[in-house]
Structure 1
Amino acid sequence: MICDKLTNLLGYDCLPLSDSGQVALVHTPFKFEDGASLPVFIEFVNGQVRFFDDGATLRHFMGRGVKIENRKHTAFLTNIANAHQAVFSESGEIETWASMESAPVAFSRFLSSMLAIAAWEKGQEGEDTDTSIFVQEVAIALRAWKPTADLTFEPPFEGITKKSYKLDFLLDGRPVVAVGSHQNSVSSLLHKLVDIHNLPENRGFDPLVVIDDRRDPEAADKESKVLQSLATVMPFSSLERQSRVEH
């Protein structure tokens, strides 16, 4: 029943998944970076329509090795969904609700969320997959280490090339950047730091770089040496120990 109405409304084929026709799969041509189809389901409940992913997005990232053990690890899904007026629910589903008349608008919101998540995943290829998760972990560790410090998120900086950058934090006025141990991530950060450092107005620029050394301590140590000419480098394991010592 739901597909009879929504195929015309949405412009995509719809496959009923229940005998009553109240739940269906919407076929779209969109895919994740690994080729898996974006999960788009639809449900008709008490005069409202719900677009949802049935938890498939969460399972997709877990299957690709992203560490997801608590809510802070899913912050990237929450933030992307919210930015497109959808939600990442307590049950681990991306969803949005609307009246049947507003189904096209709700579908657009949901699909925009899914496409943004797919774009985020593509942007992580060749880098640490869970970079944004690591930034959240560093923020928590910094709070524990310096609970009374002023922690500012995404402070802007300008480089000598006039390009604008956003670093991860200011901790009592000192720039702090979280980075993985992958060579591509470090190389990209090094380019930013050189550009910022070479602008005369940034005299005294003294960033702290927190590098993720949990998966590959040897690679983290190697890449730390590359960064040490421009920044103080702290392994994340050291930051965690320091936060426990302080408290």
Structure 2
Amino acid sequence: MNCEALIRNLGFRCREVRSASRRGPVYALDTPFHFPDGEAFTLYAVPHAPQVVELSDNGDTLMHLMGLGFPLDDRRRWRGLRDLCEKLHLSLEERGDVRTQLYSDDLASGIEQFGYFMHAVCEWEVEHRGLTDHDHVFIDEVEVHLRAWKPDLTITRDISAYGASGSPRKFDFLHGDTLVDAVRPSSQKTGAELRKVLDVANGDDERPILVIMDDRSDAQRAREETAILATVARVMQMSALIRHAPVVSAIRSH
């Protein structure tokens, strides 16, 4: 056993790779970090000016999430990822790569930043991986009714709030000053929502939280899940939201 073998056994490996966009060397650093499905996370180090190096994920994080079906092809949906990067002093570029520049002597701190980044991304992925096409349609429906209910309030999609854990917690909307999530009734989603709401409630974010529960296909199940969530947040049934938005209801009934 020696230092080189020890580093290799910890999961770090470095190899030079070719880049079509630059003439100089690019080094791929295989790390021990993995996404929840086992896909490895690789960092790319690009030397710039003397003693300056750029670390980048080469867009792999965004491509990984999109490959799982997350609707991130629209840059307007990158807000949560961008907020996380800013908190960790990383930048999310227009091409979708996460990067930072630092002096060579600070390389260890840069790798540490990406370690925190990977941990937060993996938590977010596990929390949201169960979303189906029906969930995304429901979220879009909730947005339409929220706009009709209170048209003077601004709505922003995909907002992050930071809880006591320090990890970003994504909400579907910011409606005025209220964090809003659209939830379809299931024990798995209720459990995830409980953890999220409690984390944010125990942090420094004082914005109110509203959960819209879809009660249209299984009213009894929706009532059961609502009773649990109502202990920590305000919950509104989707049928009630529709009644609050008569213009939308009238249009959809024709």
Does the alignment pair 1:226 with 2:239? no
* Residue identity in the other structure for 1:18: R
Quick one: distance in 2 between partners of 1:134 and 1:97? 39
Deviation at 1:120, TM superposition (A): 2.2
* Residue 32 (structure 2) aligned to one of 25, 29, 33: 29
Quick one: distance in 2 between partners of 1:59 and 1:154? 20
Matches within 5 A, 1:85-234: 85-125=89-129, 127-128=130-131, 144-145=147-148, 146-149=150-153, 176-180=180-184, 183-186=187-190, 209=212, 211=214, 221-228=216-223, 230=226, 231-234=235-238
Change (3 A) 1:43 1:222: same
Change (3 A) 1:173 1:56: closer
Deviation at 1:59, TM superposition (A): 1.0
**TM superposition score normalised by structure 1:** 0.60
Does the alignment pair 1:72 with 2:45? no
CA contact (8 A) 2:33 2:41 kept: yes
Does the alignment pair 1:40 with 2:35? no
How large is the Cα RMSD of the aligned pairs?
4.7
Give every structure 1 segment of 4 or more consecutive aligned residues whose post-TM-superposition deviation is greater than 6 Å.
133-140, 150-155, 166-170, 172-175, 190-193
- Specify the alignment match of 2:230 in structure 1: none
Quick one: distance in 2 between partners of 1:50 and 1:233? 49
Q: Percent identity?
A: 23
The DSSP-based 3-state class of the residue aligned with 2:100 is strand
**TM superposition score normalised by structure 2:** 0.58
- Specify the alignment match of 1:18 in structure 2: 18
Deviations along 1:52-111, whole A, 9 cap, x unmatched?
111111111111111123123222321222221112111100111112222222222123
Does the alignment pair 1:55 with 2:59? yes
Q: Name structure 2 gaps, 5 residues minimum.
A: 1-6, 162-169, 198-209, 227-234
Quick one: distance in 1 between partners of 2:25 and 2:60? 19
Higher strand share: 2
- Specify the alignment match of 1:83 in structure 2: 87
